[in-house]
Structure 1
C-alpha cells in the first residue's frame, strides 16, 4: 500500500497536531511513529532507496483503512519533492497547513535554536540568511536549517504544486483556524479524505514551547551528546518526562542533561516588533500571489 494522502507541510504550523487527531479515526491509517518524519520525497539519500523501501518502511502494517497517509512537513518547501510525488503518486491528495508566514519564520528560528543549530539572534540570522543558504555544504545544503524565510513563501510553493496537481487534490488549512475552530477544520479534512466525520476526538496535548537562555550552551550540548541523543533529550524535556536521565551513559552526560534543563525556560520569547514589520513587508507580495491563486476556491483569510 502506498499513501493516498500526504500532510506535506508546512513546518512549525501544526502538522503533528493534525496527525494526532487523525490517528484517532478508525478508517485513517498513519504511521504511529513519525519521529523523525519520513521525508522520503525530500531527502535524496532516502529517495534513492526506492518506492518499495518507502512502502515497507512506513506502510507495512496498513490494515485496509480507506485513507492511508503520511506526514512530512518538508514537502511544501521543496520543489523537487513535488516532482517526485507526482511521479509516484499522481492521484494523491495533499493537505497543507499554512500559518502566518512571519510567525512561522519566528517559530522556525526558535526551534532551530532549541535544536542547538543556531547561535545568532534572529535579526543577525535574517541578515546573513542568503549567504548561509549559499554556503551550506553536504547534508546541510539539502536540509537548509537556517532558511527561516524561505519556508514561508506559500504563494510560490502552492503555485509550483499547481503545475503538477489539480486544485481538487489540494486542501489548504489555516493553522490558526485549526487551533481555534478545530472541529470544523477537521470536518473539512475528513470530507476531503472521503471518510466519516470525526466528532468525538481528544484534542492533543500542546507541549511546552521552550525558550533557550544561552544558544551557545545549547549548541555545545548538542555537540557533546551527539545529535540523535540530544534530540531525544530535548523532546523528553518538552514532554515533561520524569526519567530523562535514562539517556545518560555516564556522569558527564548526566551533567550535560542538567545543564540543558537549566538552559531552558517555559517563558515564551516575543518577536521584536521592528523585525515583525520587516517580515510582514517581505512576505506581502507572496501573500498576494497566494490569494490570487486561491481566489474563491478556498475559505482562507489574509494574515496581514
Structure 2
C-alpha cells in the first residue's frame, strides 16, 4: 500500500464539510482526492473481510509522500461500520468532525433530498410519519442514507463510536458555526491538530448554498419542538462527551 490517507473529516452531513474541503484545497501540505466525497469506507459492495485498498489509492495523484492525503466524506461518522474500517486501515488517522444544530441540519438535508428528487414528502411529514420508512430495515439499508433526518442528529452516539475506535487525541470535534463565523481561529485549531503550517488566507468559503427552488413546506416551531423533544437527552450527552458548548443551538433553547 502507498502512503495511506491520514486525515478524515467524518461529518456531519450539511455541517460545512464542503466549505472545509475548499479550505483544504488551498493548503500546500494537504493532498486532495479527485472528488470531495470518496465514499470508500461506507461502500457495502466491498469485501470488508479483505478490503482492496488499491481502489482508495486510485482517487489520489502520485506524490512525494510529504503531503497528507485527506478524505472528506461526512457519512462516515453516521454509518455504523465506517470508523472501525478506518481504524483497521490506518490506526494513526486524524479525524475531524463538524457538528451543526440538528434541526437546522435536518432541514438542510431535507432540502437537498427534495431538490434532487429523492424526497417527495413535505418536511413536516418526513420527520414524522416519514420516519416509518426506516422501520424494520437493517442499519445499512440504502434508505438509512436518505430519510435519516432526525437519526443523523444523534451526535452522542457518533462521538461514542469515534471514542471506541480512536484515542481522544486523534479526534477533533468542532461546531460548524465556528468554521463559518470564526474561520481564522477554527482553521488554526485544525492546522495545530494536524501538525501543519497555518492555512493561507484565501478568503471565506461558503459552498453548497441551498438550491433556489420552490419547496412545498417551511420549517415550523412545531417541527423544531418535535426534534428538540426527540434529541434533547442525546444532545446533553453529546455536549459532555465532545466538550463543545451547544447551549446556543436553537434546538436546545
Superposition TM-score tier, normalisation by shorter sequence: 0.7 to 0.9
Match of 1:148 in 2: 149
Match of 1:281 in 2: 229
- Rg larger in structure: 1
Distance change >3 Å, CA 105–CA 285, structure 1 → 2: same
Deviations 1:57-96 (A, max 9, x none): 2234334334221111110001111121111111111001
Aligned counterparts, 1:1-304, within 5 A? 1-34=3-36, 37-46=37-46, 50-134=51-135, 141=142, 144-213=145-214, 270-294=218-242, 298-302=243-247, 303=249, 304=252
Tell me if structure 2 keeps the 8 A contact 1:7–1:15. Answer: yes
Runs (5+) with no aligned partner, structure 2: none
- Which deviates more from structure 2 when the two are superposed, residues 8-17 or residues 63-72? 63-72
| TM-score, normalised with respect to structure 2 | 0.88
- Which deviates more from structure 2 when the two are superposed, residues 100-109 or residues 51-60? 51-60
Q: Secondary structure at the match of 1:9?
A: coil
C-alpha RMSD of the superposition: 2.3
| TM-score, normalised with respect to structure 1 | 0.74
Tell me if structure 1 keeps the 8 A contact 2:11–2:75. Answer: yes
Separation of aligned partners in 2, 1:90 and 1:129: 38
Q: Secondary structure at the match of 2:205?
A: coil
Deviations 1:192-240 (A, max 9, x none): 010011242232254541144367xxxxxxxxxxxxxxxxxxxxxxxxx
Tell me if structure 2 keeps the 8 A contact 1:43–1:142. Answer: no
Q: Secondary structure at the match of 2:83?
A: helix
Runs (5+) with no aligned partner, structure 1: 216-268
How far residue 134 of structure 1 moved from its aligned partner, in angstroms, is 2.9
Count of residue correspondences? 245
Separation of aligned partners in 1, 2:143 and 2:196: 36
Separation of aligned partners in 2, 1:47 and 1:9: 24
Where relative contact order (Cα < 8 A, 6+ residues apart) is larger, the structure is 2
Q: Secondary structure at the match of 2:98?
A: strand
Tell me if structure 2 keeps the 8 A contact 1:82–1:164. Answer: yes
Separation of aligned partners in 2, 1:205 and 1:12: 12
Distance change >3 Å, CA 299–CA 144, structure 1 → 2: closer
Separation of aligned partners in 2, 1:67 and 1:281: 41
Tell me if structure 1 keeps the 8 A contact 2:133–2:143. Answer: no
